Structure 1
Amino acid sequence: MIHTTHAVFAAALTEVMLVSEHAPISWQAAATIAVAFVVAPVPDIDQPESWVSRHIPGASLVSKFIRHRTLTHSLLVSVLLYLVLFGLGFHIPDWLATGIFMGWVSHWLIDLVNPMGVQLFYPLPWWVKPPVPWLAIGVESPGESLIRALMRVFVTVLTLSYLLVHAPPMLQKAAGPLETYALRWVGLWTWPWLGTVCHVLHLR
């Protein structure tokens, strides 16, 4: 996937996480989403033609030593990153640590639907790919463009709905039936199991 798809998917996934945790409306919540959005393209530093490699000085050197979609797209690095962010006592703010972690993990999650897949269990030589080839979505394909557009709409609608659900009663009343639709939409993307997982992992 290209960097913009990774970024908007990270924002969408992080927003669903926050909704599932019933996160309060705050600058920390907004910052978490923003950090995930920025970090999401970074794992493609192993690809010399990626946006990250072309825009960060010296980043393209990484691709000379690491094959694309192997180490940086693995569970190994995700676990190590989690330990650095949450387990080694660096006292990184929760919103920053969560945003970085969600941005990184969301990257390989959406790459799993690409025909190439990812070497998720690196250094084991197993590539995880879509089980049904015709469901795979190629890089810069019409399918990716459609998914990216839908995710942008999704993020916008969920954000506005969540804000309305937590708005003062006067504004909710003024919104009329929109408040009911907003409540239903937010409820649809409130997953108790995800909230529990995030609580266990200290993601917030």
Structure 2
Amino acid sequence: MTGKTHSSAGLLIGSMVATHYQLDLFESVTAIVIAGLASILPDICHSRSIISQRLKLINFIIKHLFGHRTFTHSILFIFICYYLLTLIQTPIYYMISIICGMLSHVILDMLTPRGVRLLFPLPVRVRFPIQFKTGGLLDVSLASAFSILTVYILFEAPIKRILTTWI
């Protein structure tokens, strides 16, 4: 999947967390932004990704130690991140935003023919039976759907008011 699809999924997750926990404006924006960032974090191992362009040294180390779609796309990586977030006593709504943002990335990449090494360090690639090409029509459609859902979740009450006046 493309970075746009991953980040739109992350923004959707962040908006769902903000709505569910009824966060104030600052916490809502923070939850949405960190979910969006977390949703592209697993691609730190891909030299052309947005996040790896910003964190070149970390990209170089991870890419050369592990390769693409291995460690950073695994349950092990997500568990380590969860453990570190627990150690620094991250509020639950931020933790859910981060972990679910990263999980969304891994799940979306499991929809591609290449799949992911979910059980890293085991050399098994995991992918769904139905697969889609990165950058293809479904990829773009998912990004659009995630974006529309994000707007709806964030502005549900005003949208309902407008729709009830028109109908």
Which of the residues 101, 125, 129 maps onto 2:123?
125
Q: How does 1:94-173 map to 2 (within 5 A)?
A: 94-131=92-129, 135-161=130-156, 163-164=157-158
CA distance in 2, matches of 1:29, 1:149: 22
- Kept after mapping to 2: 8 A contact 1:112/1:118: yes
Query: SS at 1:49's partner residue?
Result: coil
Tell me the TM-score normalised to structure 1 length.
Answer: 0.70
Change (3 A) 1:117 1:94: same
Q: Residues 23 and 164 (structure 1 numbering): CA distance in 2 closer, same or farther, change over 3 Å? A: farther
Structure 2 match to 1:13: 13
Structure 1, unpaired ranges of 5+: 166-171, 182-204
Q: State how far apart, in whole Å, the 1-side matches of 2:162 and 2:43 are.
A: 45
Percent identical: 22
Q: Distance in 1 between matches of 2:11 and 2:125?
A: 26
Structure 1 residues 137 and 17, CA gap change in structure 2 (3 angstroms): farther
Tell me, in whole angstroms, the C-alpha distance in 1 between the residues paired with 2:111 and 2:55. 27
C-alpha separation between the residues in 1 aligned to 2:57 and 2:162? 54
CA distance in 1: counterparts of 2:133 and 2:106, whole angstroms: 14
Q: Note if contact 2:11-2:36 (Cα within 8 Å) is conserved in structure 1.
A: yes
1:79 is matched with 79
Q: State whether residues 17 and 31 of structure 2, in contact with CA within 8 Å, keep that contact through their aligned partners in structure 1.
A: no
TM-score normalised by L of structure 2? 0.84
**SS in structure 1 of the partner of residue 155 of structure 2:** helix
Return closer, same or farther for 1:25/1:164 CA change in 2, 3 Å cut-off: farther
Q: In structure 1, how many angstroms separate the alpha carbons of the residues matched to 2:15 and 2:162?
A: 25
Distance 2:3 2:162 in 1: 38
| 1:79-134, Cα deviation, whole Å (9 max, x unpaired) | 11111112x3x233444433322222221121111111111111112211121xxx
Corresponding letter in the other structure for 2:82: Y
Cα-Cα RMSD: 2.4
**Residue ranges of structure 2 left out of the alignment (5+ in a row):** none
Larger radius of gyration: 1
The residue that corresponds to 1:168 in the other structure is none
1:70 aligns to 2:65 (yes or no): no
Q: 1:53 to 1:30 in 2, by over 3 A?
A: closer
Shift of 1:17: 4.6
